[in-house]
Amino acid sequence: MTAPDPATIRAARERAGLTQTQAGAAIGRSLRVWQAYEGGTREIDPLLWQVWLIRAGMADPASILIA
């Protein structure tokens, strides 16, 4: 599992209809941290990204389980 690039993070947030503040809050992160993810100055942990996708309704919760 690899971390998504900033463009992917932004596109997913926009597709979910969330502000950066809402997106960060969904995984317990601040607006500044989310801005850093989208700006490419900080990499989101791939597992945390999976959690965010699940919380945003964009992934099946089972996707986080080890097969």
For position 65, what pLDDT does the model report?
Answer: 78
pLDDT tens digits for 18-60?
A: 999 999 999 999 999 999 999 999 999 999 999 999 999 999 8
Q: pTM score > 0.95 for this model?
A: no
What confidence category does residue 67 fall into, taking pLDDT thresholds of 50, 70 and 90? low
Look at residue 66 and tell me whether its pLDDT is greater than 90. no
For position 32, what pLDDT does the model report?
Answer: 98
The CA dihedral of 34, 16, 49, 38, to the nearest 10 degrees, is: -30
